A = this chain, B = another copy of it.
Amino acid sequence: MLQTKIEIEEATGILKLLGDKTRLTMLKLIDEQTCCVCEFVEIFQTSQPSISQHLRKLKDVGLVKEERKGQWIFYSVNNKSAYYSFIKPILDQLPDQNDKLKQLEEKGTRISCC
């Protein structure tokens, strides 16, 4: 695939967002899956507002999309984003994070699959 060019300033904005452990892991997780906020809270063992704020930043640049299903809001990577081809090669070099979701399934706290 021919890569599209991205301006330096846009690139630094995106890279700044990826330069955070929580957000980068999130993106890797939801590149091929879907997660809701409370799952992230459990996975990252942090507060709900903190997770919401990270997701907000990713949403603001269009990297993730949300879909409400009842009381839950499910997040996934927006592969229609103009930046998707920029971040995909990065995500592909990261180790799989699915063990984190497996742990939720074992504890019975996984929601997204329903």
Binding site for B on A (CB under 8 A): 3-9, 11-13, 15-21, 24-25, 28, 85-86, 89-90, 92-95, 97
Contact between A3 and B90 (Cβ–Cβ < 8 Å)? no
In the complex, how many angstroms separate the beta carbon of A13 from the nearest chain B beta carbon? 8
The prevalent SS among residues of A at the interface is: helix
CA distance A97 to B11 in the complex (A): 14
Would you mind naming 10 contact pairs between A and B with Cβ atoms under 8 Å apart? A6-B94, A8-B24, A8-B95, A8-B97, A12-B18, A15-B15, A15-B18, A19-B19, A85-B93, A90-B90
Interface residue from B3, B8, B93 paired with A92 (Cβ < 8 Å): B3
CA distance A15 to B86 in the complex (A): 13
Given contacts A11-B24, A24-B11, A24-B12, whether A93 and B4 have CB atoms under 8 Å apart is yes
Counting every copy of the chain, the complex holds 2
CA distance A85 to B20 in the complex (A): 20
Interface residue from B11, B18, B95 paired with A93 (Cβ < 8 Å): B11
Residues of B within 8 A of A20 (CB): 12, 16
In the complex, how many angstroms separate the beta carbon of A63 from the nearest chain B beta carbon? 13
